[in-house]
Structure 1
Amino acid sequence: MVKSKAFIIFILAFGIFGIINTEMGVIGILPQIAEHFNISVSTAGLLVSLFALAVAIAGPILPLLFSGMNRKGVMLMVIGLFIIGNIVSIWAPTFGIALAARIIPAFLHPVYFSVAFTAAAASVSQDQIPKAVGRVFMGVTAGMVIGIPITSFIANVTNLEIAMMFFAIVNAITFLAILFFIPSMPVQQKLSYGTQLSVLKKPALWLAIFSSIFILSGMYAVYSFFAEYLESVSGMSGGMISLMLVVFGLTGVIGNLLAGKLLMNHALKTVVIYPVIFGAIYLLVYLMGTFTVPMIILIALWGVLFTFGLNITQYMITSSAPEAPDFSNGLFVAFANLGVTIGTMVGGAFISGWGTHHVMWSGLLFLALGLIFVVMFVPLARKKQAVAY
């Protein structure tokens, strides 16, 4: 039974890897896409920005609408739509069709995430939920760190069509794994929409949401310009930057495992200390950014804390509304994408105004704001027992 549960969680994580790979993988092949459709790279970038916008819009709504359906059926439907979108994108005759083929499935992105997190939580005991969710989050890490270089490599050694076929293959494997190895997951107790929406009245939930927006903005304000920082400030070569991305991803896996354990045993302490420690790492990166060896060590710690932040923000939001898990997971996905958008925009503005080296101050600003809301969140969480302490 234990092995069966672990395998189910692995399949759920692999599905998230497929979706994140579809979302982020095109970053590495935007120049080829621009050349293929005879458009500018900035126009090709709509494949990323509009995808994220669709996720942010759908996050609070669609998981709520699908919350009463059999979770296995929902996952098969979402992955099936992603496969169709992937296939259409491969042979799309125009950029508009390719864009539509990505945006339509993107609206169901938060549905799969919500169902996967809820299914993982439902497959284990109450005290093991953070650990199970942390393992599902490994799919996010793999999608961001492995998916982009693999897609870029395939495009460079073969062609654009085969690189994009990689998205479809990964999602097809997920579809078959869910179909044959995940049992039926009917919703035992269907909650009314009104009951689920009523959690929005909880002050603790809104404090968790604002904490998450600022923390995630702080994470992505800097991470979005990770390669540029290492090139222009640290003076690293392209090969060295690729290696640092791998290091970042591998230590990110450690962050997932560590977050699960700490959130099970010391949730509120972890939530409070996190932005402080992450801020200290940013300061060290700012001060030591021109030194290669210290930067390698700091990047390893940065990777741990980065995925740690994803776990913490998801935990804060969903544990503030445990009675509506599908809806609260949808809220997390929506506001996480909002944080990504805000952070990237502000980080870019700092670079334009003061230079790449000073992008760290944008991250520190957001983490400071996040800490303020975390400090307000903790007393309510204790009082209402919204999270375990």
Structure 2
Amino acid sequence: MRAYIYSAIIAFGLFSIVNTEFGVIGTFIQITEKYQISASQTGMLVSLFALSIAIFGPFMTLLFSGFNKKRIMASVLGLFAIANLLSAAAPNFSVLLIVRILPAFLHPVYFSLAFVAAASFFPSGQKSKATAYVFTGGTVGMVLGVPFTSFIADQFSLEASFLFSAALNLIALIGLLIWVPSMPVTAKLSYRQQLGVLAKPQLWLNIATVCLTISAMFAVFSYFAEYLGQITKMSGKLISTMLILFGASGVLGNLEAGRLLSKHVVKTTLLYPAVLAVTYLIVFWGGSYFIPMMIIVVVWGFIHTGGFIINQNWLASEASEAPEFANSLFVSFSNLGIAIGTASGGQFLLHMGTHQIIWGGLMFLALAVTLMLAKIKWYGIRSI
């Protein structure tokens, strides 16, 4: 029972961190209005945050791999709480951008340690259950952080949404300090052993494909609120409701993706880009129709969120001998995908209009499928 409680606290901490990263997407409209900037500029809050994670993630994880896990995770939660408090008081967009980026350097450290820490509380035969349990916290943060913060920003204020995120960080920090036992490092892989997985060409093909797939997801999703406001003509309150529906269906989508992976890992991995591409075409053709778009949003959320666990499984399968480092690679390169996708989506929005951001997502999916087919040709389908 204690193992589940400890894991739940760690999972909540991951939820609070991921909520900070993605929740800001739901407040883009309020940020644009408050600081008098363009939608593409607002997207930098996501893209630069993600880029910081992508560049420094593996190095920071290696650097802190020899320290007490509880102390490191507590420090990360404290840093995120401070950053959110400063965001609420930011006098201009430049300051907001800086205080948003600062905690990003340690984001992948918590993410990587969370899985390893939770697994240490369970018997060896149940470690995969612990990993899935904690991953749910991150997934919920990804899909529900946006509607939560969007609702608070719309009902109260932009500042209140940042204070809400800070409160989540502080609750997770207190829970970690009070209930989770100390987790000193007793043995660890050398830096050379962990870095050794990077010599595998199959891993780099998986990394590139994951990066492109995540780019496809966020080239469109990062401008979800903008799309529903400009194309579907929804009000701010209704957009918040749509984000909640998107997130709720996304939780179910993640669970279904996990179930499908346990039974048909190759088929699920190969079919995901095609299913997401069809979803984007439906969004494009149905985006201007009010009632149909409500239904489409639910389907979109279900498909979108399943991509996280599918891509995590895909990358980790080629680095199972160094799981902590593999987790950091997934966090880094998925965030590189988020940065690339958000930035490219902003360019499509700026130069072609909001409706055309769909084509950016489809472009990245086509590139991802190309790499998938290349890996099948060179290493065989079982290598996926």
TM-score normalised to the size of structure 2? 0.85
Q: State the SS of the aligned residue for 1:183.
A: coil
Question: CA distance change for structure 1 residues 295 and 287 in 2, over 3 Å: closer, same or farther?
Answer: same
Cα distance in 2 for partners of 1:250, 1:162 equals 23
113-122 vs 85-94, greater mean Cα deviation: 85-94
Q: Is the 8 A contact 2:148 2:244 kept in 1?
A: no
Task: Please say if residues 76 and 110 of structure 2, whose CA atoms lie closer than 8 Å, have aligned partners that are also in contact.
Answer: yes
Give 1:190-269 correspondences, 5 Å limit: 190-269=188-267
Structure 1 residues 289 and 341 mapped into 2: Cα distance closer, same or farther (>3 Å)? same
Matched to 1:251, the amino acid is: S
Q: Which residue is 2:75 aligned to?
A: 77
Distance (whole Å) between structure 1 residues aligned to residue 260 and residue 90 of structure 2: 46
The aligned counterpart of 2:170 is 172
CA distance in 2, matches of 1:39, 1:235: 21
Alpha-carbon distance between aligned partners in 1 of 2:105 and 2:251, rounded to the nearest angstrom: 27
Contact 1:130 1:263 in 2 (8 A): no
Match of 1:279 in 2: 277
Counterpart residue type for residue 166 of structure 1: F
Q: What does 1:293-332 align with in structure 2 at a 5 Å threshold?
A: 293-332=291-330
The equivalent of 1:109 in structure 2 is 107
- Aligned partner (choices 342, 354, 357) of residue 356 of structure 1: 354
Which secondary structure state, in structure 2, belongs to the residue aligned with residue 108 of structure 1? helix
2:26 and 2:225 in contact (8 A); partners too = no
Deviating more after overlay: 282-291 vs 169-178 = 282-291
Contact 2:83–2:103 (Cα < 8 Å) also in 1: yes
Matching of residues 18-37 of structure 1 within 5 Å: 18-28=16-26
Cα separation, 1, equivalents of 2:230 and 2:33: 26
Shift of 1:368: 2.0
CA-CA distance at 1:112 after TM superposition: 0.6
Indicate the larger mover: 335-344 or 12-21. Answer: 12-21
Query: Counterpart in 2 of 1:66?
Result: 64
Q: In 1, are the aligned partners of 2:62 and 2:325 still within 8 Å (CA)?
A: yes
Q: Secondary structure at the match of 1:60?
A: helix
* Aligned twin of 1:184: 182
Superposed CA offset, 1:101-147 (max 9, x none): 43332210111111113334555577866664444344344434543
Distance 2:288 2:81 in 1: 44
Cα distance in 1 for partners of 2:19, 2:268 equals 29
What letter corresponds to residue 267 of structure 2 in structure 1? K
Q: What letter corresponds to residue 209 of structure 1 in structure 2?
A: I
Cα pair 2:28 2:225 within 8 Å, conserved: no
Q: For this pair of structures, how many residues does the alignment match?
A: 382
CA-based RMSD: 3.2
Tell me if structure 2 keeps the 8 A contact 1:26–1:148.
yes
Q: Deviation digits for residues 252-271 of structure 1, max 9, x if unmatched?
A: 11122122222223222211
Seen in structure 2, the aligned counterparts of structure 1 residues 231 and 28 have a Cα distance that, compared at 3 Å, is closer
Instruction: Give % identity.
Output: 48
Contact kept in structure 1, 2:147 and 2:243, CA below 8 Å: no
Structure 1 unpaired stretches of 5+: none
CA contact (8 A) 2:219 2:361 kept: yes
Deviations 1:249-305, CA, capped at 9 Å, x for gaps: 001111221222222232222111111111122222223333344433332221112
> CA separation in 2, counterparts of 1:355 and 1:32?
20
Tell whether the 8 Å contact from 1:272 to 1:375 is kept in structure 2 after alignment. no
Distance 1:89 1:358 in 2: 31
Deviation at 1:383, TM superposition (A): 5.7
Structure 2: 5+ residue stretches without partners: none
Distance 1:95 1:194, change over 3 A: same
Q: What displacement does 1:186 show?
A: 3.7
Kept in 2: contact 1:68–1:191 (CA 8 A): no
Corresponding residue SS for 1:300: helix
